[in-house]
Amino acid sequence: MSGQDKNDESVKSAVKQASIEVATPKRTKEIIAKYGFSFKKSLGQNFLIDQNILNNIVAAAELDETKGALEIGPGIGALTQRLAQAAGKVTAVEIDNRLIPILKDVLSEEAHTTVIHGDVLKIDLKQLFAEQFADVSGVSVVANLPYYVTTPILMKLLEEKLPLEHIVVMIQKEVAERMAAKPGGKEYGSLSVAVQYYCVPKVVCMVPHTVFIPQPNVDSAVIKLSLREKPAVDVPDEDHFFRVVQASFAQRRKTLANNLTAFVGKERREALTEMLLKNDIDPIRRGETLSLEEFARISRSMLEAGWGSQSVSS
Ligand code: SAM
């Protein structure tokens, strides 16, 4: 970098630092008052007012000027502003049309930042990626998610197999713990398996409910999901694998043999017990003790036995 370039860079960063941080109690209250904004609980609107938490979120996302960030639910732009400073391209999808003019105003200084008005659950994300992120070397989702739709949003991101590097999101603490849970505990369930099939999860930090306006009733956590290059286990039919997992957790107090008998039909109970034993899986174990590899073995064996078409009965 030449001396002139370095000078330009430091001027740019000084300008960036000069743009007023949204994530302080004072500034957030000012913006809300200026626009007469009223919070909609039904949209999970709890705005972050803590700089340290923002630092943790942005650092975990491993962004630089060659990377893109997709933010879901920018609110009044507290995180968006930080992402714009860390990434080469930021696109934020916000459902509440009352926030769009506020975001335009708050983010007016930020280059390469696009706000899209829409419901992330309805948007064609493949098309959005093609339109917004053609020029970046990798994309991560970074968001303080609305809690009422956390799981549907994450499952949409994972199931659509978008070319993502990381998903760094603030979610309800208990949901983060379930996503990162290992076999053997009561937090481990079909959500843990689904997330760990696609990603390596890591809880980044716990977040008290006091760092939001308004304060939610629950505590939160930031979780980082790093997308695997290929799924954690090899299964011939993903849909069947996930139905086996769901069936195994259908009634948590029941044994695997009982839950899976309900799945494959009573007439196959004996054959099922034999198949589990052949796979070194004790039929009296509970679903919550099985690893992803063990669920995969069961799914593979069921398909080999031609038991692939059952639906989950619960
Ligand atoms: N990112 C901001 C922050 O950290 O202060 C706001 C986070 S707030 C927890 C969640 C945001 O998601 C709100 O702005 C809400 O309007 C928006 N939202 C809720 N449901 C949405 C959906 N289906 N699609 C896009 N945005 C949504």
Instruction: Tell me what pLDDT residue 305 has.
Output: 94
Q: Which domains does the chain have, with CATH numbers?
A: 3-227 (3.40.50.150), 238-304 (1.10.8.100)
- In the chain the first and final C-alpha atoms are separated, in Å, by 63
**Edge-first strand listing for the sheet containing 67-72:** 113-117, 89-94, 67-72, 138-144, 164-172, 220-227, 199-207
| CA-based radius of gyration for the chain | 23
- In degrees and rounded to multiples of 5, residue 47 shows phi and psi of -95, 140
Distance in angstroms (rounded) separating the CA atoms of residues 239 and 245: 10
Instruction: Tell me what pLDDT residue 15 has.
Output: 41
Asked if residues 123 and 99 have their Cβ atoms less than 8 Å apart, the reply is no
Which residue from 194, 120, 129 is spatially nearest to 155, judged by alpha carbons?
Answer: 194
How much distance in Å is there from the Cα of 231 to the middle of ligand 1? Answer: 29
In testing the pocket of ligand 1, which one of 27, 46, 80, 155 has its CB within 8 Å of the most ligand atoms? Answer: 46
In testing the pocket of ligand 1, which one of 28, 91, 115, 144 has its CB within 8 Å of the most ligand atoms? Answer: 144
Instruction: Tell me what pLDDT residue 314 has.
Output: 39
- 136 sits in which H/E element: none
Distance in angstroms (rounded) separating the CA atoms of residues 208 and 165: 27
Instruction: Tell me what pLDDT residue 308 has.
Output: 77
Around ligand 1, the residues with Cβ closer than 6 Å are 43-48, 72-75, 78-79, 93-96, 99, 119-121, 144, 146, 149
- In degrees and rounded to multiples of 5, residue 106 shows phi and psi of -60, -35
Instruction: Tell me what pLDDT residue 52 has.
Output: 96
Instruction: Tell me what pLDDT residue 246 has.
Output: 97
Q: What is the mean pLDDT of each run of 10 residues along the chain (314 residues)?
A: 51 50 95 97 97 97 98 98 97 98 95 97 98 97 97 96 97 98 96 98 98 97 98 97 97 96 95 97 98 98 86 44
Instruction: Tell me what pLDDT residue 4 has.
Output: 53
User: pTM for the whole thing?
Assistant: 0.92
Instruction: Tell me what pLDDT residue 28 has.
Output: 97
